Structure 1
Amino acid sequence: MVRFKNRYITVEINSPMVPDSKPLTLISKSFHETVMNKIQQLYGDFGVAAVRTGFLTKYCNEHTRIAILRCRHGPHQFVTSSLPFITKIGKLDVRLRTLHVSATLKHSFKFIQKHQRAYLDKMWANLKTNEERKSLEAAVMDFTKTDVSINIEQIA
Protein backbone atom coordinates (compact mmCIF):
# COMPACT_ATOMS: atom_id res chain seq x y z
CA MET A 1 0.00 0.00 0.00
CA VAL A 2 1.30 3.44 -0.92
CA ARG A 3 0.78 6.53 1.18
CA PHE A 4 0.03 9.75 -0.68
CA LYS A 5 1.89 12.74 0.67
CA ASN A 6 0.13 16.07 0.58
CA ARG A 7 1.39 19.63 0.75
CA TYR A 8 -0.66 22.45 2.26
CA ILE A 9 -0.03 25.82 0.64
CA THR A 10 -0.95 28.86 2.73
CA VAL A 11 -1.83 31.78 0.45
CA GLU A 12 -2.54 35.42 1.21
CA ILE A 13 -5.03 37.07 -1.16
CA ASN A 14 -4.61 40.83 -1.53
CA SER A 15 -6.95 43.04 -3.51
CA PRO A 16 -6.38 46.74 -4.18
CA MET A 17 -10.12 47.15 -4.91
CA VAL A 18 -11.18 46.20 -1.36
CA PRO A 19 -9.84 48.17 1.63
CA ASP A 20 -8.11 46.24 4.42
CA SER A 21 -10.86 47.09 6.91
CA LYS A 22 -13.53 45.26 4.85
CA PRO A 23 -13.61 41.48 4.54
CA LEU A 24 -12.72 40.02 1.17
CA THR A 25 -15.40 37.74 -0.23
CA LEU A 26 -14.54 34.87 -2.53
CA ILE A 27 -16.25 31.91 -4.09
CA SER A 28 -13.94 28.96 -3.51
CA LYS A 29 -15.10 27.30 -6.75
CA SER A 30 -14.02 30.30 -8.83
CA PHE A 31 -10.71 30.43 -6.92
CA HIS A 32 -10.16 26.73 -7.66
CA GLU A 33 -11.04 27.17 -11.35
CA THR A 34 -8.77 30.21 -11.67
CA VAL A 35 -5.79 28.27 -10.30
CA MET A 36 -6.51 25.33 -12.61
CA ASN A 37 -6.85 27.63 -15.64
CA LYS A 38 -3.50 29.26 -14.87
CA ILE A 39 -1.85 25.83 -14.51
CA GLN A 40 -3.40 24.86 -17.87
CA GLN A 41 -2.01 28.02 -19.43
CA LEU A 42 1.50 27.54 -17.99
CA TYR A 43 1.95 23.74 -17.98
CA GLY A 44 -0.72 22.39 -20.30
CA ASP A 45 -2.60 19.12 -19.96
CA PHE A 46 0.25 17.43 -18.09
CA GLY A 47 0.16 20.05 -15.32
CA VAL A 48 -3.62 19.90 -14.97
CA ALA A 49 -3.65 16.09 -14.87
CA ALA A 50 -0.90 16.03 -12.25
CA VAL A 51 -2.56 18.62 -10.00
CA ARG A 52 -6.22 17.64 -10.37
CA THR A 53 -6.02 14.58 -8.10
CA GLY A 54 -6.10 15.74 -4.52
CA PHE A 55 -6.35 19.48 -5.24
CA LEU A 56 -8.71 21.14 -2.76
CA THR A 57 -9.31 24.42 -0.94
CA LYS A 58 -9.22 23.45 2.74
CA TYR A 59 -9.61 26.80 4.51
CA CYS A 60 -10.58 30.35 3.65
CA ASN A 61 -10.88 33.32 6.04
CA GLU A 62 -12.32 36.48 4.52
CA HIS A 63 -11.14 38.77 7.34
CA THR A 64 -7.43 37.92 7.15
CA ARG A 65 -7.60 36.99 3.46
CA ILE A 66 -5.83 33.68 3.97
CA ALA A 67 -6.57 30.40 2.22
CA ILE A 68 -5.06 26.92 2.43
CA LEU A 69 -4.81 24.76 -0.67
CA ARG A 70 -4.15 21.03 -0.47
CA CYS A 71 -2.20 19.39 -3.27
CA ARG A 72 -0.25 16.17 -3.66
CA HIS A 73 3.49 16.22 -3.11
CA GLY A 74 5.33 16.72 -6.39
CA PRO A 75 2.64 18.52 -8.38
CA HIS A 76 2.47 21.11 -5.60
CA GLN A 77 5.34 22.81 -7.40
CA PHE A 78 3.03 23.50 -10.35
CA VAL A 79 0.58 25.18 -7.98
CA THR A 80 3.13 27.26 -6.08
CA SER A 81 4.83 28.46 -9.25
CA SER A 82 1.54 29.47 -10.91
CA LEU A 83 0.05 31.41 -7.96
CA PRO A 84 2.04 34.65 -8.49
CA PHE A 85 0.77 34.87 -12.09
CA ILE A 86 -2.90 35.00 -11.07
CA THR A 87 -4.16 38.59 -11.28
CA LYS A 88 -7.95 38.14 -11.43
CA ILE A 89 -10.44 35.91 -9.66
CA GLY A 90 -13.76 36.49 -11.39
CA LYS A 91 -14.01 40.27 -11.77
CA LEU A 92 -11.86 40.99 -8.72
CA ASP A 93 -8.24 42.11 -9.21
CA VAL A 94 -6.04 40.16 -6.81
CA ARG A 95 -2.43 39.53 -5.95
CA LEU A 96 -1.63 36.14 -4.44
CA ARG A 97 1.34 35.61 -2.15
CA THR A 98 2.50 32.22 -0.92
CA LEU A 99 3.11 32.47 2.81
CA HIS A 100 3.95 28.91 3.80
CA VAL A 101 4.12 25.36 2.45
CA SER A 102 3.85 22.52 4.95
CA ALA A 103 3.40 18.78 5.03
CA THR A 104 0.55 18.74 7.56
CA LEU A 105 -2.56 20.78 8.11
CA LYS A 106 -1.59 21.12 11.78
CA HIS A 107 1.61 22.97 10.90
CA SER A 108 -0.28 25.21 8.49
CA PHE A 109 -2.71 26.18 11.25
CA LYS A 110 0.18 26.83 13.66
CA PHE A 111 1.70 29.18 11.11
CA ILE A 112 -1.66 30.88 10.49
CA GLN A 113 -2.17 31.35 14.22
CA LYS A 114 1.10 33.26 14.52
CA HIS A 115 0.33 35.24 11.37
CA GLN A 116 -3.20 36.12 12.51
CA ARG A 117 -1.99 37.16 15.98
CA ALA A 118 0.21 39.73 14.27
CA TYR A 119 -2.79 40.81 12.15
CA LEU A 120 -4.94 41.21 15.27
CA ASP A 121 -2.31 43.36 16.98
CA LYS A 122 -2.25 45.63 13.94
CA MET A 123 -6.05 45.90 13.61
CA TRP A 124 -6.82 46.42 17.33
CA ALA A 125 -5.33 49.89 17.20
CA ASN A 126 -8.11 50.94 14.79
CA LEU A 127 -11.01 49.62 16.90
CA LYS A 128 -12.62 51.72 19.63
CA THR A 129 -14.69 49.37 21.81
CA ASN A 130 -13.96 46.06 23.46
CA GLU A 131 -17.00 44.50 21.77
CA GLU A 132 -15.57 45.28 18.33
CA ARG A 133 -12.21 43.84 19.40
CA LYS A 134 -13.76 40.62 20.70
CA SER A 135 -15.87 40.16 17.57
CA LEU A 136 -12.83 40.71 15.35
CA GLU A 137 -10.78 38.25 17.41
CA ALA A 138 -13.54 35.65 17.16
CA ALA A 139 -13.76 36.10 13.39
CA VAL A 140 -10.01 36.04 12.83
CA MET A 141 -9.22 33.09 15.07
CA ASP A 142 -12.10 30.95 13.72
CA PHE A 143 -10.54 28.00 11.90
CA THR A 144 -13.83 26.37 10.90
CA LYS A 145 -14.54 28.43 7.78
CA THR A 146 -13.88 26.19 4.82
CA ASP A 147 -16.09 27.59 2.10
CA VAL A 148 -16.98 31.23 1.68
CA SER A 149 -19.63 31.64 -0.99
CA ILE A 150 -20.63 35.30 -1.24
CA ASN A 151 -20.84 36.83 -4.66
CA ILE A 152 -17.83 38.85 -5.84
CA GLU A 153 -20.01 41.21 -7.88
CA GLN A 154 -21.28 42.77 -4.62
CA ILE A 155 -17.85 44.34 -4.10
CA ALA A 156 -17.31 45.66 -7.61
Structure 2
Amino acid sequence: MVRYKNRYITVELLATIPENKPLKLKSKVLHDTLLDKIQHMHGDFGAAAVRNGFLTKYCNENTRIAILRSRHGPHQFVTSTIPFITKIGGLPITLRTLHVGATMKHSFKFILKHQRSYLDKMWSKLKTDEERRDLEKAVMDFTKTDVSINIDNIG
Protein backbone atom coordinates (compact mmCIF):
# COMPACT_ATOMS: atom_id res chain seq x y z
CA MET A 1 0.00 0.00 0.00
CA VAL A 2 1.29 3.44 -0.93
CA ARG A 3 1.07 6.39 1.41
CA TYR A 4 0.08 9.62 -0.28
CA LYS A 5 1.42 12.81 1.24
CA ASN A 6 -0.83 15.85 1.27
CA ARG A 7 -0.19 19.55 1.62
CA TYR A 8 -2.66 21.91 3.26
CA ILE A 9 -2.64 25.42 1.81
CA THR A 10 -4.07 28.14 4.04
CA VAL A 11 -5.32 31.10 2.02
CA GLU A 12 -6.89 34.41 2.93
CA LEU A 13 -9.73 35.79 0.80
CA LEU A 14 -9.31 39.53 0.30
CA ALA A 15 -12.53 41.11 -0.96
CA THR A 16 -13.80 44.64 -1.48
CA ILE A 17 -16.72 43.92 0.86
CA PRO A 18 -16.30 45.59 4.30
CA GLU A 19 -14.61 43.36 6.89
CA ASN A 20 -17.53 43.31 9.31
CA LYS A 21 -19.84 41.62 6.77
CA PRO A 22 -19.52 37.87 6.16
CA LEU A 23 -18.46 36.72 2.72
CA LYS A 24 -21.24 34.73 1.03
CA LEU A 25 -18.98 32.14 -0.58
CA LYS A 26 -19.41 28.39 -0.74
CA SER A 27 -16.39 26.09 -0.63
CA LYS A 28 -17.58 24.37 -3.85
CA VAL A 29 -17.38 27.67 -5.77
CA LEU A 30 -13.84 28.28 -4.50
CA HIS A 31 -12.86 24.71 -5.43
CA ASP A 32 -14.28 24.94 -8.96
CA THR A 33 -12.74 28.36 -9.60
CA LEU A 34 -9.29 27.13 -8.62
CA LEU A 35 -9.60 24.03 -10.81
CA ASP A 36 -10.68 26.15 -13.78
CA LYS A 37 -7.75 28.53 -13.30
CA ILE A 38 -5.30 25.61 -12.98
CA GLN A 39 -6.72 24.17 -16.21
CA HIS A 40 -6.25 27.54 -17.90
CA MET A 41 -2.68 28.12 -16.66
CA HIS A 42 -1.19 24.60 -16.56
CA GLY A 43 -3.29 22.79 -19.13
CA ASP A 44 -4.60 19.24 -19.02
CA PHE A 45 -1.53 17.89 -17.25
CA GLY A 46 -1.80 20.36 -14.36
CA ALA A 47 -5.56 19.91 -14.00
CA ALA A 48 -5.31 16.12 -14.02
CA ALA A 49 -2.43 16.10 -11.54
CA VAL A 50 -4.27 18.37 -9.11
CA ARG A 51 -7.80 16.98 -9.48
CA ASN A 52 -7.01 13.72 -7.71
CA GLY A 53 -6.91 14.57 -4.01
CA PHE A 54 -7.80 18.27 -4.32
CA LEU A 55 -10.36 19.41 -1.76
CA THR A 56 -11.49 22.54 0.04
CA LYS A 57 -11.35 21.38 3.66
CA TYR A 58 -12.28 24.59 5.47
CA CYS A 59 -13.89 27.84 4.39
CA ASN A 60 -15.00 30.41 6.97
CA GLU A 61 -17.17 33.30 5.76
CA ASN A 62 -16.47 35.51 8.78
CA THR A 63 -12.70 35.22 8.99
CA ARG A 64 -12.26 34.85 5.21
CA ILE A 65 -9.79 32.02 5.56
CA ALA A 66 -9.83 28.73 3.67
CA ILE A 67 -7.76 25.56 3.76
CA LEU A 68 -7.16 23.62 0.55
CA ARG A 69 -5.84 20.07 0.46
CA SER A 70 -3.71 18.88 -2.44
CA ARG A 71 -1.31 16.03 -3.01
CA HIS A 72 2.37 16.67 -2.41
CA GLY A 73 3.94 17.54 -5.76
CA PRO A 74 0.89 18.84 -7.61
CA HIS A 75 0.39 21.32 -4.75
CA GLN A 76 2.90 23.49 -6.59
CA PHE A 77 0.39 23.92 -9.42
CA VAL A 78 -2.16 25.14 -6.86
CA THR A 79 0.20 27.55 -5.09
CA SER A 80 1.42 29.01 -8.38
CA THR A 81 -2.16 29.62 -9.53
CA ILE A 82 -3.53 31.23 -6.35
CA PRO A 83 -2.16 34.77 -6.99
CA PHE A 84 -3.89 34.91 -10.38
CA ILE A 85 -7.44 34.44 -9.05
CA THR A 86 -9.33 37.73 -9.39
CA LYS A 87 -12.99 36.66 -9.24
CA ILE A 88 -14.82 33.94 -7.38
CA GLY A 89 -18.52 33.51 -7.94
CA GLY A 90 -18.86 37.00 -9.44
CA LEU A 91 -17.17 38.69 -6.47
CA PRO A 92 -13.88 40.52 -7.03
CA ILE A 93 -11.58 38.58 -4.69
CA THR A 94 -7.85 38.25 -4.33
CA LEU A 95 -6.33 35.19 -2.68
CA ARG A 96 -3.23 35.42 -0.52
CA THR A 97 -1.32 32.32 0.56
CA LEU A 98 -0.70 32.42 4.29
CA HIS A 99 0.75 28.98 5.05
CA VAL A 100 1.56 25.65 3.45
CA GLY A 101 1.71 22.76 5.89
CA ALA A 102 1.83 18.99 5.96
CA THR A 103 -1.04 18.44 8.41
CA MET A 104 -4.44 19.94 9.22
CA LYS A 105 -3.32 20.30 12.83
CA HIS A 106 -0.44 22.61 11.89
CA SER A 107 -2.70 24.60 9.58
CA PHE A 108 -5.20 25.16 12.38
CA LYS A 109 -2.38 26.12 14.75
CA PHE A 110 -1.29 28.73 12.24
CA ILE A 111 -4.86 30.01 11.83
CA LEU A 112 -5.25 30.24 15.60
CA LYS A 113 -2.11 32.37 15.86
CA HIS A 114 -3.15 34.48 12.86
CA GLN A 115 -6.63 35.07 14.30
CA ARG A 116 -5.21 36.07 17.70
CA SER A 117 -3.13 38.79 16.04
CA TYR A 118 -6.21 39.91 14.08
CA LEU A 119 -8.23 40.12 17.31
CA ASP A 120 -5.54 42.19 19.02
CA LYS A 121 -5.62 44.62 16.10
CA MET A 122 -9.43 44.87 15.96
CA TRP A 123 -10.14 45.13 19.71
CA SER A 124 -8.82 48.68 19.88
CA LYS A 125 -11.53 49.75 17.40
CA LEU A 126 -14.41 48.31 19.46
CA LYS A 127 -16.03 50.24 22.29
CA THR A 128 -17.96 47.74 24.44
CA ASP A 129 -17.09 44.38 25.94
CA GLU A 130 -20.12 42.82 24.30
CA GLU A 131 -18.84 43.81 20.84
CA ARG A 132 -15.46 42.35 21.74
CA ARG A 133 -16.99 39.04 22.87
CA ASP A 134 -19.10 38.83 19.70
CA LEU A 135 -16.05 39.48 17.54
CA GLU A 136 -13.99 36.89 19.40
CA LYS A 137 -16.78 34.34 19.09
CA ALA A 138 -17.08 34.93 15.32
CA VAL A 139 -13.33 34.93 14.66
CA MET A 140 -12.40 31.95 16.81
CA ASP A 141 -15.28 29.80 15.55
CA PHE A 142 -13.88 26.71 13.85
CA THR A 143 -17.22 24.92 13.54
CA LYS A 144 -17.85 25.99 9.95
CA THR A 145 -15.58 23.24 8.72
CA ASP A 146 -15.94 20.03 6.82
CA VAL A 147 -13.80 18.42 9.51
CA SER A 148 -14.45 18.42 13.21
CA ILE A 149 -11.41 19.45 15.20
CA ASN A 150 -11.05 20.12 18.90
CA ILE A 151 -9.18 23.39 19.41
CA ASP A 152 -8.27 22.45 23.01
CA ASN A 153 -6.05 19.63 21.72
CA ILE A 154 -4.02 22.01 19.56
CA GLY A 155 -1.00 23.41 21.22
Identify whether the pair has TM-score above 0.5, normalized to the shorter chain.
yes
Q: How many angstroms apart in 1 are the aligned matches of 2:118 and 2:63?
A: 7
In structure 2, distance between residues paired with 1:145 and 1:133: 20
CA–CA distance in 1 between the matches of 2:84 and 2:139?
27
Cα deviation for residue 63 of structure 1 reads 1.9
User: In 1, are the aligned partners of 2:38 and 2:81 still within 8 Å (CA)?
Assistant: yes
Q: Is the Cα–Cα contact under 8 Å of residues 25 and 89 in structure 2 kept in the other structure? A: no
Q: Which amino acid aligns with 1:65?
A: R
Aligned Cα RMSD in Å? 1.1
Unaligned runs of 5+ in 2: 147-155
**TM-score of the pair, normalised by structure 1:** 0.89
Cα distance in structure 2, aligned partners of 1:82 and 1:8: 15
Equivalents in 1 of 2:33, 2:58: separation in Å?
A: 17
* Contact 2:59-2:66 within 8 A present in 1 as well: yes
1:128 Cα deviation after fit: 2.0
Offset of 1:52 from its aligned partner? 0.8
CA distance in 2, matches of 1:120, 1:63: 13
Q: Which runs of 5+ in 1 are unaligned?
A: 148-156
Farther-moved stretch of structure 1 (36-45 vs 18-27)? 18-27
Q: How many residues align?
A: 146
Seq. identity, %: 73
CA deviation map 1:34-74 (0-9, x unaligned): 00000000111111111111111111122221100001100
- C-alpha offsets along residues 80-128 of structure 1, whole Å, 9 cap, x if unaligned? 0000000000110011100000000010011101100011111112222
- Which segments of structure 1 move beyond 6 Å, counting only runs of 4 or more? none
Q: Counterpart of 2:55?
A: 56
